[in-house]
Amino acid sequence: MSKYQGHCACGAVTYGFDDAPSFVANCHCTDCKRASGGEMATFALVSESDFTVKGETRSFPYPKNTETCAGNGLDRVFCVTCGSRVYTNNLADFPGGVFVQEGSLDGLDQWLPPQVEIFTWSRRPWMPALPVPQYDHGVPATADA
Ligand SMILES: [Zn+2]
Ligand SMILES: [Zn+2]
């Protein structure tokens, strides 16, 4: 049994990983708004080699878009039964990484606080910033995150 576990809304898709996420971000981009229905989405980065998933999923590919976290392209993965967006993979900008939707983790106590906020250029004015580094687009390659 993995240390961290999560599932979609209906439970048909489950996943797990053992290592604590290396990076947690709130993304305020317009893709995340549209796909999540909220002002932003919270992601936790885990290694593809540590990530196991069960159940039938489908992927929707997002083409290159440097104004959103799609960056140079990625796939957003959802449950075919309930449509919950569960994780993002095949990121051109993060080879070997899987970005888990924090909201799909089994336990609220497994949520880790965001270390950065990204794509703040499209954050709505009524959403206050957290006291963490803010990036109007993605995290610069030189940033220590
Ligand atoms: Zn489901
Ligand atoms: Zn985003």
Give per-residue pLDDT as tens, 16-29: 999 999 899 999 99
145 CA from centroid of ligand 1 (Å):
32
- Determine the distance separating the centroid of ligand 1 and the alpha carbon of 106, expressed in angstroms: 13
Could you tell me which residues are beta bridge partners of residue 22?
Answer: none
Q: Ligand 1: distance of its center to the CA of 10 in Å?
A: 4
- pLDDT tens by residue, 27-74: 999 999 998 899 999 999 999 999 999 999 999 999 999 999 999 999
pLDDT classification of 142: cutoffs 50, 70, 90? low
Q: How many Cβ atoms sit within 10 Å of the Cβ of residue 41?
A: 24
Per-residue pLDDT reduced to its tens digit, 103-114: 999 988 888 999
Residue 43, sorted as left (phi over 0), alpha (psi -120 to 50) or beta, turns out to be beta
Output the CA 30–ligand 2 centroid distance in Å.
7
Ion ligand 1: residues, CB within 5 A, are: 8, 10, 12, 79, 81-82
Across the chain, mean pLDDT equals 94
Q: Is 4 in contact with 18 (CB distance < 8 Å)?
A: yes
What is the pTM for the complete model shown? 0.92
Sorted by where each starts, the structural domains of the chain and their CATH numbers stand as: 4-122 (2.170.150.70)
Whether residue 145 is predicted with pLDDT greater than 70 in this model: the reply is no
Q: Find the 83 Cα to ligand 1 centroid distance in Å.
A: 6
- pLDDT value at position 39? 97
Q: What is the pLDDT of residue 143?
A: 58
**Phi, psi dihedral angles at 118 (to 5 degrees):** -125, 160
Tens of pLDDT, residue by residue over 77-122, are: 999 999 999 999 999 988 999 999 999 999 888 889 999 999 999 9
CA of 14 to the centre of ligand 1 (A): 9
**CA–centroid distance, residue 11 to ligand 2 (Å):** 24
CB atoms within 10 A of CB 128: 7
Using DSSP bridges, classify how beta strands 23-27 and 116-118 pair: parallel, antiparallel or unpaired.
parallel
pLDDT of 144 > 60? The answer is no
